[in-house]
Structure 1
Amino acid sequence: MWESIHKHDSASAAQQLAQMREELASIGEKERVLRERSAAREVYRYLLEAHRLIARTSFLEEQVLNIPPPAAGEGSQLVA
């Protein structure tokens, strides 16, 4: 009788241990996915900010470069 109870308890404990290992593996996988997503978001933010800075710089350069030079004699006249 004792042996059958002991075997049942060991099988139950082994089953619970296997279940806990599966849950830990699942939790580990979820954590890995979350870390990857977080890293991907950081890379996206960095690239977006870099793009904004480049776009702003090139926009400002275009504004400076597209200002027409004053015609001869216009420099000292005021526009009414």
Structure 2
Amino acid sequence: MAEFKYEIVEEIAQVSESAKGWTKELNLISWNDRSPKYDLREWSPDHEKMGKGITLSKEELISLREVLNKLDL
């Protein structure tokens, strides 16, 4: 498995927490020394392990916000 680097540049929001202490978070993350992107995924309490997630550019996040704002929730 290829190694990769990540740096959480900004912790934006915690969306939820599981019974085991893992948290679903929206963060700004730099992957492999690249420009930071918005990232939504589950993290272990120490941020050493992570679950699958999605990474979005600023433009994609804005587009997603517009879609979510139109939903009748």
TM-score range normalised by the length of the shorter chain: under 0.3
Tell me the TM-score normalised to structure 2 length. Answer: 0.23
Larger helix fraction of residues: 1
Larger strand fraction of residues: 2
Rg larger for:
1
